[in-house]
């Protein structure tokens, strides 16, 4: 399987998982959606379509998105995600989505030192986390994936308590 | 349809079209494959898997690829593609692949002023062009797409004469 194949599989899993979260109505009724990593803005654009009435706040080092997919200034937080997103702890987000794997194991291992704790701190009890990297944390309970998503391709959790 | 949906559709079309070119044995038996735009290197990685014995030369402004998908130094040409690739005119490439659309109509219109002519100059007679942007040129004959690829999503041509 080429890296192109893997990328298509991961993006498809991401899209199908987000659609599943909407269809199954998994989000708490209140709270923002936090997108960790804006990138080109394609996923933000998808989130915006799925949840037109939710506040969506995006975090990234810098803006590199297509102009059609840049949030309002008040919903962009620029800087190191680990630091900037921590400022939103305790604000009871409905969902955290993070697709910030790099394909480099050592870099991803460093990310996984802070991402699970950060995610829990951001979410409301009952809030949802969707991630391209596995989030190992006692307060994050894995939820079943919809059919067609391989178990190690994308990850879905609910914050319990 | 979100930009994420469109992106998945385009990448899937690209991958399926490249697989089709291999399966149908459309390439001339000699000549290099030229990849205009390396990007993350995922498509180069796919081309490398499909055609392990062909020379593949990539062109881009700078290297931004994953370390697993960077060609040998002698097969990377850095600089403005319009200029650098022109140096390979007349060398009878078997295939030119270009996925260098930007999603900005004005930028893509400028690219399309030079890309069709450049592509013809690079290809051997009978050589194949696959492109994410349409290449309108009298020496490029559109070839049928495999099932499942929408006609305006990816483009396939053979240089005639």
Query: Nearest Cα to B96, choosing from B149, B144, B133?
Result: B133
The backbone torsions φ and ψ at residue A6, rounded to the nearest 5 degrees and listed phi first, read -60, -40
In angstroms, the CA B4 to CA A160 distance is 30
pLDDT in tens, A107-161: 999 999 999 999 999 999 999 999 999 999 999 999 999 999 998 899 999 999 7
**B45: Cα within 13 Å, side-chain hemisphere:** 17
CB contact under 8 A, A3 and B45: yes
In angstroms, the CA A113 to CA B96 distance is 43
Assess whether pLDDT exceeds 90 at residue B19: yes
- DSSP-based three-state secondary structure for A120: helix
Please give the model's pTM, rounded to 2 decimal places. Answer: 0.94
pLDDT in tens, A21-76: 999 999 999 999 999 999 899 999 999 999 999 999 999 999 988 998 999 999 99
Assess whether pLDDT exceeds 90 at residue B112: yes
Instruction: Give the minimum alpha-carbon distance from A161 to chain B in angstroms, rounded to a whole number.
Output: 33
Assess whether pLDDT exceeds 90 at residue A99: yes
Length of chain A: 161
Please report the pLDDT score of residue B46 as a whole number: 98
CB contact under 8 A, A3 and B67: no
Average pLDDT over residues B140-148: 95
Average pLDDT over residues A79-99: 97
Average pLDDT over residues B48-64: 96
In angstroms, the CA B111 to CA B80 distance is 11
pLDDT band at B161 (very low <50, low <70, confident <90, very high): confident
CB contact under 8 A, A42 and B69: no
Contacts of B152 (CB under 8 A, 6+ apart): B134
Please report the pLDDT score of residue B151 as a whole number: 87
Instruction: Give the minimum alpha-carbon distance from B133 to chain A in angstroms, rounded to a whole number.
Output: 18
In angstroms, the CA A142 to CA B25 distance is 45
Ranges of beta strands (E only) in chain A are 33-36, 56-60, 76-78, 93-98, 123-131, 140-142, 155-159
ipTM of the complex: 0.95
Q: What percent of chain B clears pLDDT 90, i.e. is strictly above it?
A: 93
């Amino acid at each position: 399987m080429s890296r192109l194949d893997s990328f298509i599989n991961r993006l498809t899993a991401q899209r199908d998982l987000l659609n599943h979260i909407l269809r199954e109505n998994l989000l708490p009724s209140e709270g923002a959606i936090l997108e960790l990593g804006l990138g080109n803005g394609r996923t933000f654009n998808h989130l915006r379509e799925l949840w037109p009435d939710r506040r969506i706040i995006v975090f990234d080092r810098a803006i590199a998105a297509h102009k059609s997919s840049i949030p309002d200034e008040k919903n962009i937080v620029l800087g190191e995600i680990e630091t900037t997103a921590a400022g939103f702890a305790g604000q009871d987000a409905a969902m955290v989505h993070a697709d910030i794997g790099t394909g480099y194991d050592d870099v991803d291992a460093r990310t996984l030192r802070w991402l699970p704790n950060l995610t829990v701190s951001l979410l409301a009890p009952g809030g949802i986390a969707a991630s391209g990297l596995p989030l190992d944390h006692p307060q994050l309970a894995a939820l079943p994936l919809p059919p067609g998503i391989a178990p190690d391709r994308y990850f879905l959790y609910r914050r319990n308590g």
